[in-house]
Structure 1
């Protein structure tokens, strides 16, 4: 019995801890131990109280207007570098992180204050994008005429949700740690907040409400995901309601989860549509090569309507055109469904003449 007890002691006490066990132990310690005063102070200072509130709001308004203006001009000029600069100036990440902190600590007044500041910033950024587009005299007939920087923010997908969740986790980790606050601008670049709002104003000004809604969906995706992920990270850092450790915390976190689910549904539909369109374009391009190896696709427009693939093609080739119905059949075999094809065929001809 003594030997067995000694062996059990050696196995239980002297055996090195596995990485998984170490991670579980660290998580338990974080969940039990409250944050220190410096961490609480860093979180409380995200949005100041009392007399310092209105000066903060004034600075927030000025920076939001300036960042939205930079973003709008960058989007309209199709300059990615300018848009990145707008992300660095944008101050929206602070009240969003403050919203997550107020959610976890059950500070209702701070939560309402942070949400109102976010609402003000949202309205200002959209308005600046709208006014900038009107002043610039931008005229757009269809969404295809928009700059690529604008278009890229009108097709949100599940990848954007993943980026926002990761960025929100980074913001939640940085917020209570003053030593790593220098990394916060990188979070602002990783997840776009003001550029989608400026895109909403741009699309509304040129009469493209559907694209404006998609850009707003991208912003709401970023907002919901950041609040959720930052709340989880602050929870792991030991933040709880001050007067009672569980007061309303489950309901508050459930609201953030529901918000993420609410934006995930349309994002899933957008992603499926994007993948479907990409597969159709790839099938059409491969069909053209199989139909005529010398042909080159000059313009391609395709869509799927009630399982019917509608394809419009502009093709150029040096040879004589082959029967169009063969190309339609080739596309149909690759797509696996009915196809309506509209084909415009151009012959590449080169003339070298001399007049003396």
Structure 2
């Protein structure tokens, strides 16, 4: 009996492994059975060499960003700080820090642009500052150029409205052209066209003026654009006053008592006093002389001023008027205020008084002046 029990135990022990292996608990998952408690996948361990290689790559990337940034910018400063702080700081800078820093730099740049820009540029810049980082990047990339051209169109139109024929023609071409055409007009084109108009003015004033005015106008015509601008701004008036002083001295030398006294007072006064004497004062003084002569019983004490027939008699009055006033209303040179730039962007005085009418009347003189210069140069 004891032997049979031992045999049964041995038999059970022999077949137990086979039964267990055939049971579902030990089935192969690939054969459709469910795996029990599968182990989680493990992350491969990074070696120190891998970490060093990543840090070097990050360092190189940060250095490239710094090199492309403006010196002293927030991007450059924070990039340098990240390199000094180590691998983790460099990784953080590359992920988010560079974008935050770049947007701060964009804000500063936009503020600088709108501080010197026109109305449209300033308005577009303020909207970008209120918007997103993408709005600011878009403004710097394209928006500022569109807004600046709108401002340039306004400036060109303003110059056109107050310029002479040459300036107006050049401005119209610029307004019909490209943004680059408008920039060129504002930087150089308007000044070239204005000098052409000034040449017409100088020639007209010289032909209508006295000896000193003609001499100064001739020197300006043979000089530079600045010479012509200075002649129109101040030189013509100085030269005209010289002619007026000569004429007054001549009138005094042959005039009656009241004419002499009024003429001497004018010579001691201002250019305006001398112009006023030639326009009105001499006639009033002559009238006093005539009145005194009548009271003296028809004496010959100044029935005129001794240099010309009485007022209104023709030739002498015309010569005096030219010497006195010339084309005084043609006294400006170009633009009265800066409308730029561009830059860039300088002030050129605008024509005032009757300059527009004078330009219209004397536009044909420009061709003649050019021909004269061409002949002189030849």
Compute the TM-score of the two structures, normalised by the length of structure 1: 0.22
Greater relative contact order: 1 or 2 (C-alpha under 8 angstroms, separation 6 or more)?
1
TM-score by length of 2: 0.21
